[in-house]
Amino acid sequence: MTPPELLRALFDRAVAVADPMQSLAAALPPKPPGRVVVVGAGKASARMAEAVEAAWGPCEGLVITRYGYARPCAGIEIVEAAHPVPDAAGVTATRRMLDLLEGLGVGDFVLALISGGGSALLCAPSDRITLAEKQALTQALLASGAPIGEINGIRKELSAVKGGRLAAAAYPARMLALMISDVPGDDPGDIASGPTVGHRGDAARALAALERWGVSAPASIRAFLEAGGDPLPPDDPRLSRVENVIYAAPAQSLAAAAELAEEQGCAVEMLGDAIEGEAREVAAEHARRALAAKGPRVILSGGELTVTRRGNGIGGPNAEYALALALALKGAPGIHAIACDTDGVDGAAEVAGAIIGPGTLADAKAGGVDPAEALAANDAHTFFGKIGAQVVTGPTRTNVNDFRAILIEG
């Protein structure tokens, strides 16, 4: 394989391992007797529902996924809504989901399918906050450069469905929540802001995070947080019949990619699955590491990088990382890299990410594109589109977050 072919194969292997049709059945118990209701939210939730019905047959239920990510199901209703900024479709579907859970009894069973993206898709703002206010806050948070953990912590404080409230709505029914992790550290309470995991709340911390990242919140949101919010602690009796299971996570996908790299004769250097930070800063650090390495070697990493918006371009953390990496490598011979989001969407663009190599900067010069200007404008997707180096997968219907691989040839 050529270096670009190998890098794409590594990414494809990482995605395939996290495909619910390949991985969910092993975590699924036999279908319980009595009434079974399936609910869920996230970019992988429709594919997860499809996998459930492949094992259990048609089921009653409703899941919410991103526009374009629906899958055919015989019984489970699939609703599409907006991501990363919530919309009215998500709010309406979330209310219908809560209505579906209302009135379940002790002999009933709920299967919750939770994956990344659920924070936006499963949307039920507190009754003192409007959807428009929630949308404005989400847009500001996404542009601030705040890490996803802090963003989801704020979302959790403001929601009537996150932080365990989805599970509480199903009580006294028994609930099993199967999760695909897309968060650094794989904390179930952070995946989709923990709709099945209680939390003690920290409204003061949420307010401090808004200040730290320079986010101006509407007066209603500040007032709600200043009053202490409305948390649902983990020891609340309504959460006593919930079991939370992470059955797929970034580490598994990176391990599968590492196995393939070794099969192709490369040593593997694993930087971890929980790397966070500003995309361009992490890229600079990884460039230094790659320049000092001896090949053949593949440097793998995952996690969730952030971008502080300084310009009005079209970009995302993976494309920005790739662009910053190309600039830092300065066309160094024998070094290639891929950076993609495993859900197929980097930022708000329908592009997974990009591939770079020793000729990236020369290609840009030949095409009349300035990489430094593109980086300054947060316009990495436009840059890679013009030089033909984008990775476009379409919906992958799974989500184990960022995937990065740097190949140093021997």
Strands 390-391, 353-356: pairing kind: antiparallel
State mean pLDDT over 370-387.
98
Mention the CATH class of domain 3-11+251-408: alpha beta
What is d(CA 315, CA 353) in angstroms, rounded to the nearest whole number?
A: 9
Q: What is the pTM of this model?
A: 0.93
List every span in the chain annotated with CATH 3.40.1480.10: 3-11+251-408
287-327 tens-digit pLDDT: 999 999 999 999 999 999 999 999 999 999 999 999 999 99
List every span in the chain annotated with CATH 3.40.50.10180: 31-248
Query: What secondary structure letter does DSSP report for 197?
Result: S
Percent of the chain whose predicted confidence (pLDDT) is above 70: 100
Is the per-residue pLDDT at 33 higher than 80?
A: yes
Residue matched to tokens 């309406």: 92
**Amino acid 400: pLDDT:** 96
Cβ(28)–Cβ(178) under 8 Å? yes
Burial 3-36 (b: 16+ CB within 10 A, else e): bbebbbbbbbbbbebbbbeebbeeebeeeeeeeb
Is the per-residue pLDDT at 377 higher than 80?
A: yes
266-298 tens-digit pLDDT: 999 999 999 999 999 999 999 999 999 999 999
Task: Name the pLDDT band for 127 (thresholds 50, 70, 90).
Answer: confident
State mean pLDDT over 155-181.
96
Q: Kindly state which CATH superfamily the domain 31-248 is placed in.
A: Glycerate kinase, MOFRL-like N-terminal domain (3.40.50.10180)
User: Within a 13 Å sphere around the CA of 69, how many CA atoms are in the beta-carbon half?
Assistant: 34
Query: CA dist 174 to 104, 109, 169, 309, Å?
Result: 9, 5, 11, 44
